[in-house]
């Protein structure tokens, strides 16, 4: 995952400096859990990374499709690492566990028919949408049953 991110950056013509490579390591360590730029900065500032570097690099990784933004009830500043099969820059609808933050991806966009209806009714050409479901994952459901 780390290698792939570095490769993607280099192929896009960006230098992978030491701070960037540290940030990538920290990002990959988040696995499929959402994180904020602020939390990542807190983690990396000891290593000498500035806030601007952290946020600029996150934005860059997002632009390259390696991260995406997540809109959670507590705010929109979260990022999530895109799984390798979803680093194609296409949109993927998601379902997020509000307890543990795990993100699952829908195989298919459930919106295509709805979008056709919306386009017809409004006369707009619909180009994109963001669809995130919020819920509780099966693991969290199971552990809350036990309690
Ligand atoms: Zn969960
Ligand atoms: Zn969709």
Quote the CA–CA distance of 102 and 21 in Å, as a whole number: 25
pLDDT of the residue at 39 = 93
In this prediction, residues 61-78 reach a mean pLDDT of 85
Closest CA to 82 of 58, 48, 56: 58
Distance 30 CA to ligand 1 centre (A): 15
Distance 98 CA to ligand 1 centre (A): 7
Contact criterion met (CB below 8 Å) for 49 and 22: yes
Helix (H, G, I), strand (E, B) or coil at 23: helix
pTM for this structure? 0.78
Task: Identify which ligand lies nearest to the alpha carbon of 139.
Answer: 1
Contact criterion met (CB below 8 Å) for 20 and 59: no
Other CB atoms within a 10 A radius of the CB of residue 100 amount to: 13
Domains and CATH numbers, the chain: 1-86 (1.10.10.10), 91-147 (3.30.1490.190)
Task: Identify which ligand lies nearest to the alpha carbon of 99.
Answer: 1
In this prediction, residues 35-51 reach a mean pLDDT of 94
């Amino acid at each position: 995952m780390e290698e792939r991110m570095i490769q993607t950056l280099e192929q896009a013509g960006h230098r992978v400096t030491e701070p960037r490579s540290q940030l990538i390591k920290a990002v990959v360590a988040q696995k499929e859990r959402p994180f904020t730029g602020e939390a990542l900065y807190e983690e990396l500032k000891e290593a000498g990374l500035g806030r601007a570097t952290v946020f600029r690099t996150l934005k860059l990784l997002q632009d390259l499709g390696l991260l995406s933004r997540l809109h959670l009830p507590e705010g929109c500043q979260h990022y999530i690492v895109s799984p390798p099969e979803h680093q194609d820059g296409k949109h993927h609808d998601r379902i997020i566990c509000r307890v543990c933050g795990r993100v699952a991806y829908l195989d298919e966009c459930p919106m295509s028919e709805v979008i056709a209806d919306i386009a017809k009714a409004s006369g707009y050409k619909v180009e994109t949408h963001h669809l995130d479901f919020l819920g509780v994952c099966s693991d969290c459901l199971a552990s809350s049953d036990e309690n």
